[in-house]
Structure 1
Amino acid sequence: MVVLYFVAALAVVVPAVAGPLLAYGPGSRLARSRLVTKPREAVAALVTTLGRPATAAVFVLFWAALTVAVFWPIGLLAHSLEDAVDWPVLLWVTDRRNPAFEDFNWFYTALGDREPLKRVVVVAAVVFAVLWRRRFWIPLLAILAGFPLEQYVQAILAEMVDRGHPPTGLGTYPSGGIARIVMTFGVIALFVALTWRMRRRWHVALGTVVLVLATYEGFSRLYTQKHWLTDIIAGLVFGPALFLGFAVAVCILAGRYPRPESPAEPAAAREPEAVGAR
């Protein structure tokens, strides 16, 4: 039982520490690498040719297809590890659950369910639509679109992998609860950053909070035995991966990617830095 408490603590501490370290370390280097600059040039050319709304839509469809292509074989691998990894972990957790701690985890894990997050999404879309004034349609469209995007991409993967679920729950591959938290609160954090001028450390702090919420959601799904362990691990990668592409598409739509000063960007399409202030 003590070991499970320790794992629960790690589910909070590890992402809280790893988030800033990744953002200021590999994240900074990646942002300056050719791996990022080349796609930026391609997107800038598409924006010039198609305009921002069409480019954002194309990018979302491309990223969703790429995500499915990457996580399909990962799902097959997870399925093959069911007997070796998932069943032993499930039985180990079963023997060490505590009723009081279980009640807390059942309460927390509901955060990743569809119904409460639907309400969060609607409220956030309305709030940011009001804040963005004449450009209200951007947060309204983007925030509302993130929820079904995650749902259908995850459903496609679940159907393609078809690995079933643990006997104690109905969770499928990859964990949708984790991915929904990342997409929902990640998009809200993104619009906070797009609406108000903030230093980079606040951007990192917002991303770290979302990472902590998602990671503990993974632990709660394990503790309440709603998912196999491999579903949870995949969800912790799938959610951020899907969000990354969606965030880029939102920034394209909002005029923040590529940066307005990009030479490939037509002058008429340039937007002020604080796009939510208009």
Structure 2
Amino acid sequence: MVVLFVVAAMAVVVPAVAGPLLAYGPGRRLAGGRLVARTREAVAGLVTTLGRPLTAVVFVLFWAALVIAVFWPVGLLAHSLEDAVDWPVLLWVTDHRHAGFEDFNWFYTALGDREPLKKVVVVAAVVFAVLWRRRFWIPLTAILLSFPLEQYVQAILSGMVNRGHPPTGLGSYPSGGIARVVMTFGVIALFTALTWQLNRRWHVVLGTVVLVMACYEGYSRIYVEKHWLTDVISGILFGPALFLGYAIAVTILAGRYPREAAPVTEILRAEAVPAA
């Protein structure tokens, strides 16, 4: 029982520490690397040829296909580890759970369920649409589409791998609850950063908060036995991977990538000033 409490603490502390380390270490080096530079050039060419809206659509579809191609074999590997890894973990958790702590984890794991997050997505879309005024259609469209994007990509992977679920739950590969937490609260963090022109430090803070929420969502899904361990590990990788491509597509649509445009706050301020 004590081990489960320790692991719960690690599910919070490890991502809280790893988030900034990854952002200021490998993340910064990757952002300045050749691959990112070539991607920026390719996207710039597409924007010139197709325009921003169509380029954003093409990019997000390409990225979704890439994520499926990568996580299909990962799912087959996870399936092959079911007897060696997933069953022992499931049985061990069953024998060591604490009733009071189980209640808390049932409460927290509902954060990743579809119904509450649908409401969060709709509210976020409306709020940011109001804040963006004449460009309201960007957050309205992008935020509302984030939910079905995650749902259908995850459903495609689940069908391709077809590994089934634990006898104690209905969770499939990869963990949709984790991916929904990443996409939903990642979208809110992304539009918060775009709307108020937050600096890199705030980007890291917001990203780390979302990562902590997702990691503990994964822990809670294991604790209440909704998911296999390998589903959860895959979900923690799958959610951020899918969100990365989505975030780039949003910044393309908003005019922030591959080249800088007028800050959203300046646009909003200019629209508020009546014409002479």
Determine helix, strand or coil for the equivalent of 2:96.
coil
- 1:47: Cα distance to partner? 0.1
Identical aligned residues as a percent: 79
Q: Supply the distance in 2 between the matched residues of 1:64 and 1:199 (Cα, whole angstroms).
A: 28
- Residue 140 of structure 2 aligns with an amino acid whose one-letter code is L
Moved over 6 A (4+): none
Q: Supply the distance in 2 between the matched residues of 1:59 and 1:117 (Cα, whole angstroms).
A: 25
Give RMSD over aligned pairs: 0.9
Q: 1:168 aligns to what?
A: 168
Unaligned runs of 5+ in 1: 261-270
- 1:237: Cα distance to partner? 0.2
Unaligned runs of 5+ in 2: 269-276
Q: Supply the distance in 2 between the matched residues of 1:276 and 1:247 (Cα, whole angstroms).
A: 21
Contact 1:111–1:117 (8 Å) recurs in 2:
yes
2:264 matches 1:274: yes
Q: Supply the distance in 2 between the matched residues of 1:207 and 1:276 (Cα, whole angstroms).
A: 24
> Structure 2 vs 1, CA of residues 233 and 276 (structure 1 numbering), >3 Å: closer, same or farther?
farther
Q: Supply the distance in 2 between the matched residues of 1:70 and 1:128 (Cα, whole angstroms).
A: 33
2:217 matches 1:217: yes
Q: 1:114 aligns to what?
A: 114
Q: 2:245 aligns to what?
A: 245
Q: Superposed, which structure 2 residues align to 1:1-278 within 5 Å?
A: 1-260=1-260, 271-274=261-264, 277-278=267-268
- 1:253: Cα distance to partner? 0.2
Q: Supply the distance in 2 between the matched residues of 1:106 and 1:36 (Cα, whole angstroms).
A: 41
Determine helix, strand or coil for the equivalent of 1:168.
coil
- Residue 272 of structure 1 aligns with an amino acid whose one-letter code is A
- 1:199: Cα distance to partner? 2.2
Q: Supply the distance in 2 between the matched residues of 1:257 and 1:199 (Cα, whole angstroms).
A: 16
Q: Supply the distance in 2 between the matched residues of 1:277 and 1:189 (Cα, whole angstroms).
A: 20
TM-score, normalization: structure 2?
0.96
Q: Supply the distance in 2 between the matched residues of 1:218 and 1:193 (Cα, whole angstroms).
A: 26
Q: Supply the distance in 2 between the matched residues of 1:92 and 1:246 (Cα, whole angstroms).
A: 37
Q: Deviations over 1:49-101 (max 9, x none)?
A: 00000000000110011111100000000000000000000001000000000
Contact 1:254–1:275 (8 Å) recurs in 2:
no
Q: Deviations over 1:125-174 (max 9, x none)?
A: 00000000000000000000000000000000000000000000000000
Determine helix, strand or coil for the equivalent of 1:132.
helix
